[in-house]
Amino acid sequence: MPKGKQYNVRDGYQWLQGERHTPSWKKIVWNKLTPPKFKFIAWLLMKGRIQTKARISKYTTVDLRCVLCGQGDEDDSHLFWECSSAQQILRKSGRKLNRDISVSNYPELEEFIKKLSTMKDRMQAIAQLVFMVFGG
């Protein structure tokens, strides 16, 4: 706590919290243009908490094979980047957005999204991708 200042609860709390780190994906996920269902799924993905078979296998025995392509173990990386079905979804989303989405990991996707000209385009791209993977 800084000396010479009158103590108050707010300053004490902020001091205990330390410096806050704002993740680069915060504005992409938490904004008024993204529907709540997509916000939640995107937030889970960014935090590494999507319930993939690989995560579930820590608690029980399951077949790890991806239900979409049947070729790899279903984890975050496979589900969003390596799966042939995920690649088809990215290509289809790109066509709907009139853009070529050729990315192979999250940082590349984040760069692609940042290059979109308006926040509305960015949110549309994210909503489209999340919906196509989880919504059908």
What are the residue ranges spanned by the domains of the chain? 22-135
Residue 56: the pLDDT is 93
Residue of 56 and 28 predicted with greater confidence: 56
Q: What is the pLDDT of residue 53?
A: 93
Residues 127 and 38: beta-carbon distance below 8 Å: yes
Percent of the chain scoring above 90 in pLDDT: 15
Report the pLDDT value the prediction gives residue 58, as an integer from 0 to 100.
93
pLDDT of residue 74: 92
Biggest distance spanned by C-alpha atoms of the chain: 65
| pLDDT tens column, 66-78 | 988 999 999 988 8
Is the CA virtual torsion 108, 109, 111, 117 positive or negative?
A: positive
DSSP assignment of 9-70 equals HHHHHHHHH-SPPPPTTHHHHSSTTS-HHHHHHHHHHHTT----HHHHTTTS----B-TTTS
Q: What is the mean pLDDT of residues 18-26?
A: 82
**pLDDT digit string (tens) for 86-135?**
888 778 877 777 777 777 777 887 787 777 777 777 777 776 666 666 66
Is residue 15 over pLDDT 70? yes
